Amino acid sequence: MSGVREAAAASRTPARTGGWRDGDPVGRRRFVELGPVRLERGGTLPAVRVAYETWGTPAPDGGNAVLVEHALTGDSHVVGAAGPGHATAGWWPSLVGPGAPLDTDELFVVCANVLGGCQGTTGPSSTAPDGAPWGSRFPEVTIADQVAVEAGLADALGIGTWRAVIGGSMGGMRALEWAVSRPERVAALFFLASGAVASADQIGTQTTQQTAVRSDPAWAGGDYAPGPGPVAGLGTARRIAHLTYRSDTELGARFGNQVQDDGRFAVASYLDHHAAKLAARFDAGSYVVLTEAMNSWDVGRGRGGLSAALSRVTARSVVAGVDSDRLYPLAQQQQVAEALGVPLRVIASPYGHDGFLLETAAVGGLVRELLAR
């Protein structure tokens, strides 16, 4: 029976890891080419392309611009249908649009794919100067490097100060880095379901996911061909991650110990589904690079520690977390809230960490509150 289950799961796994590549439909993406980018850990990327999307119209002085920061497996497609160039629909669809919390009748909303990603911005699957994919040669990047690239995008768009920078999970890290490293360029900060420094639990979980990817024979040291790739390893990494994204209470209520007609536990079928979905749209090399950046995250590094770093923030701030989040528990947001001198806003949700994406009414209300000040 176990062999049947494994064969069934394998049949649902794509033949290659996904991600946008040159020659694919561009969809709503736009691109900015930046020059060389010096990296925090040493070395330089000779050129960086940034893929981004916008909604609304910029004010002449750029003062109505809001930056939305995506999480680990997100991208620039915050809102919009799936279609050519976009494997999935927008990941925060109720947040952006006319009359939405980020009201595009008034605001100019920007979201960029992150440095090291796989949806148009330079990353491991991008073409290096020698014409081959970067692959294993792609350098280590940090959250600070990613924000430096976003600052280059802001400069190219003529945006001096963001009216707000908004992000959850890995996006919250970049939002906080913006407010600490460039306080004069951030008028308001929304820090959601994230932390100011990676914890041992997060590092341990993410290094285990990286091991799953690297243990796949198709990984080939990070230099796998554009065709078949380490989809099995990436799928295992996603299964591990997804268990941290949802709460024990929700999984128990939805699945319990139910067994399906095909012999699989219902919860295993659910995880198989999410593993296959991710492998179809995301690149394994980017997954490793981005989780390494998250593991190295420490906003106090090189700034005299956490308290000294957070004392640099001048932005009006809302700090919020999800009460059932076991990946980024409330204590991590409380630490930031106390340092910034603001109350911690708690979002009640059965969904765990994913509540920051799913509890759109609560999140949207906090966004409106921040922008109304």
At 291-314, the pLDDT tens digits run 999 999 999 999 999 999 999 999
Q: What is the mean pLDDT of residues 15-39?
A: 88
Return d(Cα 153, Cα 181) in angstroms, integer.
Answer: 16
- Active-site annotation, residues: 169, 325, 353
Max Cα separation, the chain? 65
Domain residue limits, the chain: 2-18+202-294, 30-200+299-372
pTM here is 0.94
Domain 2-18+202-294 has CATH 1.10.1740.110: yes
H helices present in the chain, as ranges: 2-11, 143-157, 170-181, 200-215, 231-245, 248-254, 266-281, 284-295, 306-310, 330-340, 355-358, 360-372
- Check pLDDT > 70 for residue 2: no
Encode pLDDT of 140-153 as tens digits. Answer: 999 999 999 999 99
| 298 SS3 class | strand
If you average pLDDT over residues 10-34, what whole number do you get? 77
For the packed helices 170-181 and 143-157, what is the interaxial angle rounded to 10 degrees? Answer: 70
User: For 62, left (φ over 0), alpha (ψ -120 to 50), or beta?
Assistant: left
pLDDT (average), residues 152-160:
97
Residue 129 has pLDDT above 90, yes or no: yes
Nearest to 278 by CA among 13, 9, 11: 13
pLDDT of amino acid 1? 34
pLDDT for 219 equals 96
Model confidence over 316-358: pLDDT tens digits? 999 999 999 999 999 999 999 999 999 999 999 999 999 999 9
| Per-residue model confidence (pLDDT) at position 10 | 36
Tokens of 349: 């949700």
Q: How confident is the model at residue 9 (pLDDT cuts 50, 70, 90)?
A: very low
When the pLDDT of each residue in the chain is averaged and rounded to a whole number, the result is 94
Matching residue, tokens 């040493």: 42
Give the pLDDT confidence of 207-257 residue by residue, as tens digits.
999 999 999 999 999 999 866 689 999 999 999 999 999 999 999 999 999
Given a cut of 90, is residue 38 above it in pLDDT?
A: yes
b/e sequence 48-76, b meaning 16+ C-beta within 10 Å: bbbbbbbbbebeeebebbbbbbbbbbbbb
Candidates 3.40.50.720, 3.30.9.100, 2.60.120.10, 3.40.50.1820; CATH matching 30-200+299-372 = 3.40.50.1820
Answer yes or no: are the C-beta atoms of 101 and 80 closer than 8 Å. no
Q: What is the DSSP string of 316-363?
A: EEEEEEETT-SSS-HHHHHHHHHHHT-PEEEE--SSGGGHHHH-HHHH
Q: What percent of the chain has a predicted confidence (pLDDT) above 90?
A: 92
Sequential DSSP letters for 92-121 = STTTEETTSSEETTT-EEEEEPPTT-SSSS
Output the pLDDT for position 11.
33
Tell me phi and psi for residue 248, to 5 degrees.
Answer: -60, -40
Note the pLDDT tens digit of each residue in 179-217: 999 999 999 999 999 999 999 999 999 999 999 999 999
